[in-house]
Amino acid sequence: MSKVAKDVDKLEPEEAAAELATLAAEIAAHDALYYQDDAPKVSDAEYDALRQRNLAIEDRFPDLVRPDSPSKSVGTAVQSKFEKIAHEVPMLSLDNAFDDSDVFDFVGRVKRFLKWPEDVPLLLTAEPKIDGLSLALRYEKGVLQSAATRGDGAVGENVTANACTISDIPQKLTGQDIPDVVEVRGEVFLGKKDFQALNQRMEDEGKPTYVNPRNTAAGSLRQLDANITASRPLRFFAYAWGAMSHMPLDSQFGMVELFQDWGFVINPLMGRFDQVDDLLAHYRKIEEQRASLDYDIDGVVYKVDDLKLQTRLGFVSRSPRWAIAHKFPAELATTILTDIEIQVGRTGALSPVARLEPVTVGGVVVSNATLHNEDYIAGIGSNGEPIREGRSLQIGDTVTIYRAGDVIPKVMDVDLSKRPSDSVPYVLPDICPACGSAAVREKNVKTGRLDSVRRCTGGLICPAQAVEGIKHFVSRNAFDIDGFGEKQAEAFYKWGLIANVADIFTLKERDSRSLTRLKNRDGFGDLSASNLFDAIDARRMIDFHRFIFALGIRHVGEGNAKLFARHYQNVEAFLTAVEEASGFEGAAWEDLVNIDGIGETAARALVQFFAEAHNRRVVDALLQAITVNPAEQTSSDSPVAGKTVVFTGSLERMTRDEAKAMAERMGAKVAGSVSGKTDLLVAGPGAGSKLKKASELGVETIDEDGWFELTGL
């Protein structure tokens, strides 16, 4: 839910009824995406939170439980493209436990229901919770008759033809004591390595890749064409049953072992325990092995082992009383750091990237994670303080990674007890891997500390920086050239067609004289080449702030680019001012660093960029081919239009940000400090050094009331 939810204990009945209606609709929509379309849009943790919220409200307001309550349903209705199969025994889902206390509570509830003596052990099984698609297989006289998905728990989809293509599913049972009617249930899944191979094949064929193994397995099993299913290496673990003409054994553990005798694959990590502490120890053991398993799991399932006790316990709502799923922490996973690779960015930064054994985190398969810089690898934070308790990262380490929302996955922790004996500390190279130039760490003049980032000194001779600069230049918030993306940037640089961004706008002319035309190169034809040239021509006129941002100057992002554009108004004034500020002194430099919101770091980076002759040559060539629109004039007839204004002291009728925005709307330039170029100082109570300097320089000074009187607001 988008807004912060009110505490359930504080809900009024009307609020509770309204929220239950909203939750029912929201959860039903997510169920359809998950079970029908195999394309969930929220993580398991977010989905579980919605269901927990619904149950909590229903517990407090039992009279408000809706007929369509999510607590009464499992999955969603089957799609019309499949035949329906009714489950003789409903396929229900499991309640969830999220921490150790939930597991103790579960066992406590079971014992209280059974009136089980506290000092008498109670056997429970524990097995990995496979992240796949539930499937029910019905056998008669040992021969497979049908295969059905969970569906809504009561009715599933007939996927028999597809199930027959899965090698782990026997079409005829073997072994002894096979009942006349057997319904074996389990999970269809796709191994991690098989998933990687499938995605690589899709990428090689120029097709979209898949998000995660679970969705891919589900989509593969639910194909109308069984040949497509057969082309996917799906697997199956058996772990439960439905309708049985008679029960051969009386325990959960024994029945699963019997499945193996009948020809099924069962999970080797299943165990049986009679103490909660032992259950939790097994949970942690499985969690530790999660990274090395070739299949995705998202928790551990606990079940009462005695089938007679299961019968006594029965079911409540949509789940059995005798089982619970202990979920792993959301958005966290443990895996192996297999390698560290260096990528060179457009500003020359050497960025280490962790290569990982693939693992699913928050519904997405993760095989890479950022390592930021060499300090981060060494266990040192940006403030110089230790992180991960100062523990360094080494290749071969077992690491915990996390992913919040859509951010890039990060390595959070390392388990030193699992570090390989032959592991050695990782040393970031001091030579750029792209061009062989020296890679150095600059010293921060203010703190005296070395910059945490190591940078290549090769500049424009470094191919990595050149290619990344071209990618940035054509990106969405810069020139946004349609059909010109990362692949085109890399290809054009490799082919020698574009060495710098100015070459983009001469590409069409040069191509017309070339013996090897673009339309004849791999990936292009007459239409695609023509469309690209048209897209380039369509960007020969660009807004001033987008032009500045597109240059890829270090420390000059979109925000700073807009501030520079607003202050200098046009590209001619901008270039003149930057050139005059080249000595980091004088009126032009003072004006530059005084732009409100611009610090000395960004100002120095701007001046240094244009001080490089090769950069200025590229910009001059670029300006020969394009037109840069002046910044928008917000107001030209106001009394402060074109003036440089500074605000200081406490403002009482408006906030400082409101005052700045107001001045800019009226065409004024807002500066952060007083200088010889300041036209007006607006001083509130408590004004100090700025007021004194304005007086020394003879700058006009007014108070807040005077500002409103001057501007007529």
Q: Which residues are catalytic?
A: 129
C-alpha to C-alpha distance for 96 and 301, rounded to whole angstroms: 9
CA nearest to 662, candidates 684, 685, 690, 682:
682
Contact 483, 360 (CB under 8 A): no
Chain centre to alpha carbon of residue 693: 49
Q: Provide the angle, in degrees to the nearest 10, between the axes of the packed helices 600-611 and 613-625.
A: 80
DSSP code at position 450: B
CA nearest to 648, candidates 604, 707, 592:
707
Question: Could you tell me the sign of the dihedral formed by the alpha carbons of 583, 585, 590, 591, in that order?
Answer: negative
C-alpha to C-alpha distance for 506 and 547, rounded to whole angstroms: 17
DSSP code at position 431: B
CA distances from 582 to 32, 188, 607 (A): 61, 66, 6
- In sequence order, the β-bridge partners of residue 143 are 140, 172
Tell me which amino acid residue 120 is. V
In the block, residue with structure tokens 């070339």: 514
In the block, residue with structure tokens 């506290």: 118
CB neighbour list of residue 367: distance below 8 Å, 6 or more residues apart? 196, 355, 356, 357, 358
C-alpha to C-alpha distance for 286 and 300, rounded to whole angstroms: 8
Q: Tell me the Ramachandran region of residue 240: left when phi exceeds 0, alpha when psi lies from -120 to 50, beta otherwise.
A: beta
C-alpha to C-alpha distance for 209 and 253, rounded to whole angstroms: 39
Tell me which amino acid residue 381 is. G
Burial of 406 (0-12, 13-18, 19+ CB in 10 A): exposed
C-alpha to C-alpha distance for 109 and 358, rounded to whole angstroms: 38
Phi, psi of 327 (to 5 degrees): -80, 150
CA nearest to 500, candidates 627, 349, 620, 604:
620
DSSP code at position 348: -
CB neighbour list of residue 279: distance below 8 Å, 6 or more residues apart? 103, 124, 126, 273, 302
CB neighbour list of residue 430: distance below 8 Å, 6 or more residues apart? 438, 439, 440, 454
Which H/E stretch holds residue 536? helix 526-537
Contact 66, 127 (CB under 8 A): no
C-alpha triplet 438, 443, 449: angle, nearest 5° = 130
Contact 702, 649 (CB under 8 A): no
Tokens found for residue 425 = 């500390």
SS3 237: strand
Tokens found for residue 32 = 């359809």
